[in-house]
Amino acid sequence: MVLPGPDDPPPPRDDEGRVVGAAQATHLAWRGHVRIGYVHPADPRLGPMSDRRHAGADETVRRLGLPMVPSRRMPDDGDFTPILRSWLVQAPVTAIAAFNDDVALAILNAAWVLGVEVPSEPAVIGADDIAAARYACPPLTTIRGSNKPFGAMLAGWVLQRLDAGGVAPPSSDEPPVWTPDIVARASA
């Protein structure tokens, strides 16, 4: 087994977490959505990562000239129903980008409780492609991290080390960029 050493380049970067939010907003805008909201998780420990994903979505929405929609936070009890109800009335959204698939599944549940049809009012996209996403009703569109940059980087390390008798300097100062894959399903 060959593992990265202390002198090897860092793992693929995701532009500080913004890539996921940008991919979500881009997909939703491409599907025709013009009022895209973002939902943060309830767990404050995830706040910094969620803020970066939200920033990526906001930057994309702004770049596309779409209106800004205030974000919402998942309540501690996980019941998004009252928040979705008020959001759809006070600041109607056509689509919601959720911090991750767990948050997106709670949004889908709230829509079902309210009799709101997804993806028509609103569409929902998650992130992380957890196993339950494909079994949701409707199946959840999500973001999955591409393993291509990781695989290419590890293959490079192995080849460098084999050529150098097991020890090789890093081939690049710039790590590969982590790229998201859209897993398009029925929810968005």
Q: What is the CA radius of gyration of the chain?
A: 19
**Among 98-102, 108-112, 171-175, where is mean pLDDT lowest?**
171-175
Query: Does residue 103 lie in a domain region?
Result: yes
- pLDDT tens sequence across 31-58: 999 999 999 999 999 999 999 999 999 9
Q: What is the pTM of this model?
A: 0.80
The CA distance from 186 to 142, in Å, is 10
Q: Residue 86: give the domain boundaries.
A: 16-145
Sequence-separated (6 or more) residues with CB below 8 Å from residue 77: none
CATH number at residue 28: 3.40.50.2300
Query: Does residue 152 lie in a domain region?
Result: no
Kind and range of the H or E run holding 73: strand 72-73
**Among 1-15, 52-66, 114-128, 160-174, where is mean pLDDT lowest?**
1-15
pLDDT of residue 121: 87
The CA distance from 139 to 126, in Å, is 11
Query: Does residue 165 lie in a domain region?
Result: no
Query: Does residue 161 lie in a domain region?
Result: no
Contact 89, 154 (CB under 8 A): no
Contact 179, 149 (CB under 8 A): yes
Contact 102, 143 (CB under 8 A): no
Residue 20's nearest CA partner among 48, 50, 42 is 50
Query: Does residue 171 lie in a domain region?
Result: no
The mean pLDDT value for 161-168 works out to: 63
Q: Cβ–Cβ contacts within 10 Å for residue 74, how many?
A: 22
The residue type of 23 is A
Query: Does residue 69 lie in a domain region?
Result: yes
Query: Does residue 21 lie in a domain region?
Result: yes
Query: Does residue 150 lie in a domain region?
Result: no
Contact 20, 129 (CB under 8 A): no
The CA distance from 54 to 57, in Å, is 5
pLDDT of residue 145: 79
How many domains, the chain?
Answer: 1
Query: Taking 60 as the threshold, does the pLDDT of residue 8 lie above it?
Result: no
Q: Are strands 142-145 and 95-98 parallel, antiparallel or unpaired?
A: unpaired
* 160 or 62, greater pLDDT: 62
